[in-house]
Amino acid sequence: MATTLAGSLAGVKQRITSREARVGIVGMGYVGLPLALLFSAERFRVTGFDIAADKVETLNAGGSYIVRILPEAIQEAQKSGFCATSDYSHIAGMDAVIICVPTPLNEYHEPDLSYVTGTIQSIAPWIHEGQLIILESTTYPGTTEEIVVPLLEKGNKHGIKVACSEGSGVHVAFSPEREDPGNDTVARHDIPKVVGGCGPAAVELASALYGSIFRHVVPVSSPAVAEMTKLLENIYRCVNIALVNELKQLCMRMGIDIHEVIDAAKTKPFGFQAFYPGPGLGGHCIPIDPFYLSWKAREFDFRTRFIELAGEVNTNMPYFVLEQTASALNEHSKAIKGSKILVLGLAYKRDIDDLRESPSLTIIELLREKGAHVRYNDPYFAKVGRGRHYDLNMTNTPLDNLGQYDAVLIVTDHTSYDYKAIVEQSQLVIDTRNATKGIVSSKIVRC
């Protein structure tokens, strides 16, 4: 297999151009599965790899486990040859392998690269000459060259090295994912794709591959530049969200509506971009990236104080919500201990089925620790069990008889909620998302 697939750089590019190249994508989650569908839509034969047997079974049956991806999309991809497997020996049949696995934080807020290293160790025995390996998982600068490359070279059984030119070997690159779940305003193929490779041949191949599904590819000088680009994009958002989260707390003390301030400020046609406060940060990148960079910076005897402060502000927001909930209940002559509280929304942002790093999970645990009786409603989650950083074991509560709760706490502002009706039926509504904007009621506490 290795002999028949090995070939010149021009040969691999020709297979990409003709759509004959086989593409393997490791990690069939919120990043990998949409990427697989993009390649399938361009008639590439794609194999999805995942260690979760239930995901593999669902995909091969033409189903989907992500709300925004319909089963029909999977079935259409199957017409182009899409299939899923947990057998890494099939890596040997791929011209290109793209790795889209989680890179979370451990309990000490340090990078957890176990999914990346585990994946590389699993695929290394099956790589072949001329193959293109791309890491998309968000990580700190240096990961591709310092971890991925050595593991590939150490783990393969043919003595294959990583090529730094057009010579023999496997080609390695980093290209940060830019998925934005729930964003319907920008088509995926219109999102520019940044590519940094270990040598010009890797950049050329990766650019050709991504250029087949994205309208614009942005080559950079190294994998480390591409890795830092991803961190900058998300730290930029983290810092600005921390700014408005802190300003929100000040504005509340001053009796000023921070949302009105932001709406007024964004009328300026230059020099300002609107960011909005909330109950905390969620998702697979923004809450995590500052800690990845801060950890790496210590290696260079450098402290990213500004970035760390932003991370601290955002991390503390669920605690601020807890304080405001206790204060609001106190105004109604109730203690948080023993109160019945309904949390609206578990997802980390509206209209998606993604729990990763969601502030709702932290808020529920904090309320429970204070003795509150907590239930939740979220149209995207029939139940929530145990994750890396939470252990809730709860089932979805119907959105009825809201008067039985001492407080209804809006944490995720799904568009399916009728907020006017929710306010009318509730004793007290605590709104962390400005979801009740325009509704006038003494029942509402905005925080």
Q: Active-site residue numbers?
A: 285
Measured on CA atoms in the order 266, 271, 277, 283, is the torsion positive or negative? Answer: positive
- In angstroms, rounded to a whole number, what is the distance separating the alpha carbons of residues 359 and 313? 13
- In angstroms, rounded to a whole number, what is the distance separating the alpha carbons of residues 446 and 441? 11
Print burial letters for 54-74: b (CB count within 10 Å at least 16), e (below 16). Answer: ebbebbeeeebbbbbbeeebb
- In angstroms, rounded to a whole number, what is the distance separating the alpha carbons of residues 48 and 39? 11
Are the C-beta atoms of residues 347 and 412 closer than 8 Å to each other? yes
| Residue given tokens 């991390």 in the structure block | 315
Q: Which class for 21: exposed (0-12), middle (13-18), buried (19 or more C-beta within 10 A)?
A: buried
Tally the C-alpha atoms within 13 A of residue 331's C-alpha that lie toward its C-beta. 14
